[in-house]
Structure 1
C-alpha cells in the first residue's frame, strides 16, 4: 500500500462511512479527490493570461501604483485578503495591502454600482503592518489582520467610519478571520509553523471591543473531537498566545478561513491542507490534503485564501503552486477552476463573490513583475453555481 492509500485508509478508518463535507454526521468523510470540474476543462489563457472554463471571462479592475479606472485613487501595493461588502444595490470590494506601515500597509476599497461599474475607490486603513488576510462581519465591517508577531486585528468601515484596533481579539501573527453569526463568535487563524486556531467570543455580538479569546484544544490526529479553552493573556507577552494553553492543537501555517451553514473551513500552508470544523458537534476533520489525493497529481498546493458560494462550493487560492484557484465541491471533488500564467513569482489572493454570486474578485499579489508594486486585481464573470 502506497503512502497516499495508507493515509486515506487511516482517515477513513477513523470514522467509517464517508459523506459530503457540507453534511456533518458523527462519521468522518474522506478528503476531497480529483475529478472533472463542474464547469468543464480550462480554455486557452485569455488576454489577461487567465485560463478559465468556457463561458467565463476576466477583466482587470486595478493595478498597484496606478489609478483605479473611473476614480482618482491609486491602488495599493501587494493586494492580499479581500471581501465583498453589500452596499445598497451595489457592493464594495475591500483589499488588504501586505506591506509594512512605512510602505503603505493597510487596506483599500473599490465601490461598484448594481451593474458592476466602478464608482469610487479610497483608503480605509493606513499605518498598519503586513495586512495579510481578514474577514467580513455580518454588520458590514472588514477585519484587517496584521501578519506580524504581536499583530493586531483592525476593524474597518467600508461603508464609512474610522478604523479601530481590537486588542481583545489577541496579539499574535494573525492571518484570517471568519464570523459565525450562529454561535456569535469570530474564528481566527495564526500563521506560524506551530500556529493555533482560535475563536473570539464578544461580550456583545456586533461589538468587538471586549470579549474572550479561546483556543481549540484537541489531540494530534487529523480528525476527532475538540474543546475550547480560554487564553489567559490575549496580549501574548511575554508568553505567546499559542503557548499559553496546554493541549492546544498545533496547525502548520494557518491561512484562509471561511464560515457557512454551520461549518468553518480553514487552510494550512505548511502541509497543504484544508480543515473543516463542526462547532456544534465539536468535531474536526480534513476536507483536503495533497498527500491523500488520487488519481493523479494533487491539483492544489500552496493553499491560501478561501471563500465559498451559496451552492456549497469552496474556492481556494494558491500561494505558488500553478497559480490556480481550485474548487472543492460539496461531494468532496476537487478541480482547477482557473489558472494564471506568466506570474509564477506571485500568489493569488482575496477571492470573494458578489452578493448575487455572479462575479468573483481576486488579486495576483505581485503580478508579472514579481514585486509588491506589480499587484493586479481582477474580476471573473460567468455562470457560477448558486
Structure 2
C-alpha cells in the first residue's frame, strides 16, 4: 500500500518526499528518452518581485498578463489562463495556444473577432502567442472566441490544439445563443485555418482534456463533472484518423469506458491495482439532447464513473489520465487526494499508477493534481490545484516528489493569503523552456534553467 504524503511528511519533515508507489510509478516514464533519477532541483528561492518562486539557477520571463493590450490590437488579454500547448513554428519560432476559462459573467472575456467567434454571448476561447528563438513575444492574438469555460484540451499529432468547453449549457441558458459543451480545433499559427467549428461528434459534456494515440488516431477524453454521478472516460474513433487539419469534422463514434465490476474508480486505493477486460460502450446520445451523457442508460452493467477527471496525456503505448480528488461527502465511493491512471489499449488494461496524499504544510505540494505533462528528460510535471500555496511539482522515476515552482502572487489578504492555481504546464519543442500559466491573476510564464 502506498504511503500518503501526509504520513511521509509527518515522519520526515522533508521538502522532497520519497513515496512508495509499489513499483508501478516507473511506468509513467515509458517512451521517454531518459528519466530523471534525482530528487529535484533544490529548495525554492523567494522571488523579490513577488511573482514566481523557483530553484536556484532557474529564471522566468513574464510573457503575458491579463488586462494588458493584445499585440494584435483586438482588445485586452483575457482572464483565467488555463490549459496550453506549445507548437514548433518556422525559423525556430514557437506558437503557444492558451485557453481562457471564462464564463458569461466576471472578468475580461476573449474579444470577439469576425470569422473566429462561435457564440458572441460567450466570453471564453483561446489566444495565441508567437515567440522567436530567444523567447521574445512577437505577436499575441485571438485564436478562437465565443466559446465557454475553456478549461484544458490537448495537442494533435499534426500540430493543432483541441480546446475543451467545461460546461453543458445549452442555447438560452445564461444568455448563450448556441449550445456549448464541445471541443474545437485551433491552429495557433493560422487560426483562420480552423475557424470556430464545434466538433460535435466528439460529444457534448463537461470536457476537460484530451490525448491522441499517435498510431491509431483515437482521441481519449476526460469529463470533469461537478455533481454525482460524476464524469466518464471516453474514446472517440474518428472516421478519418490522423487526417490532419479539419479531419475531425468528418465525425466518428464516441464510446465510454466500462471497467467490469468497478462502477467508481475512487474506491481503488492501491497503486499497482490493475483491471483487464476493459470495455468500451457506445454513447447512446453524444449530443446529450435531453440527458447528460453520464446519466444516460448504458445497459444493465452500467458504466464506470470518477470524480474530477482532469489531465490527460499520451506516453509510450498508453494513455494516462488524472482524477484530481474524490470526496465521499460529495457522493464518491471513497476519498482520495489525486490519482493517475494508465490505460493500455493493446492490452485493454487499466492500472492505478500514482496515488497522491494531502499536504501537511501549505508551503509543500502534494494534493489535487490537475494539468499534467512529461518533461523532455522524462520527469513528470504536474500543476497543483488545491488549498494553500500552489505549485508546479515534479515526480522522479524513483517516486520522489519535488517542487519546481510556487506562485507568489497573493490574491487574498495578508491575514488570509490565497494563490491562484497553476495550469497549462507544457514544454517548448526543444525542451529548453517550460511554459506555465497562473490562473489568477492571469499570467503566462516562460521558465528556463538546467532542466534534466
* 2:43 alignment counterpart: 41
Compute the displacement of 1:46 (Å): 4.5
Q: Using the alignment, how far apart are the partners of 1:337 and 1:113 within structure 2?
A: 25
TM-score by length of 1: 0.84
- Taking the TM superposition and a 5 Å limit, the aligned residue runs for 1:289-300 are 289-291=355-357, 299-300=365-366
- Taking the TM superposition and a 5 Å limit, the aligned residue runs for 1:213-232 are 213-218=254-259, 219=262, 220=264, 222=268, 223=273, 224-225=275-276, 226-232=278-284
Tell me the secondary structure at the aligned position of residue 168 of structure 1. Answer: helix
Tell me the secondary structure at the aligned position of residue 175 of structure 1. Answer: strand
* 1:154 alignment counterpart: 184
* 2:322 alignment counterpart: 267
* Structure 1 position 360 matched with structure 2 position 434: yes
Q: 1:126 aligns with which of 145, 153, 160?
A: 145
* Structure 1 position 237 matched with structure 2 position 289: yes
Unaligned runs of 5+ in 2: 9-20, 31-36, 105-120, 169-179, 327-336, 411-417
Tell me the secondary structure at the aligned position of residue 208 of structure 1. Answer: helix
Compute the displacement of 1:247 (Å): 3.4
Distance change (3 Å), C-alpha of 1:279 and 1:313: farther
Contact 2:126–2:145 (8 Å) recurs in 1: yes
**Cα-to-partner distance string for 1:80-133 (whole Å, 9 max, x where unaligned):** 111101112211111111113546311110001222121111101111111111
Q: 2:53 aligns with which of 51, 55, 58?
A: 51
**Structure with the higher fraction of residues in strand conformation:** 1
Q: Using the alignment, how far apart are the partners of 1:21 and 1:173 within structure 2?
A: 29
Q: Using the alignment, how far apart are the partners of 2:72 and 2:29 within structure 1?
A: 44
Q: Using the alignment, how far apart are the partners of 2:3 and 2:432 within structure 1?
A: 40
TM-score by length of 2: 0.73
Q: Using the alignment, how far apart are the partners of 1:38 and 1:4 within structure 2?
A: 19
Q: 1:94 aligns with which of 89, 94, 97?
A: 97
Contact 1:156–1:164 (8 Å) recurs in 2: no
- Number of matched pairs: 359
Specify the structure having the higher radius of gyration (Cα): 2
Distance change (3 Å), C-alpha of 1:16 and 1:104: closer
Distance change (3 Å), C-alpha of 1:158 and 1:286: same
**Pairwise CA RMSD:** 2.9
Unaligned runs of 5+ in 1: 9-14, 25-34, 368-374
* Structure 1 position 327 matched with structure 2 position 391: no
Contact 1:346–1:365 (8 Å) recurs in 2: yes
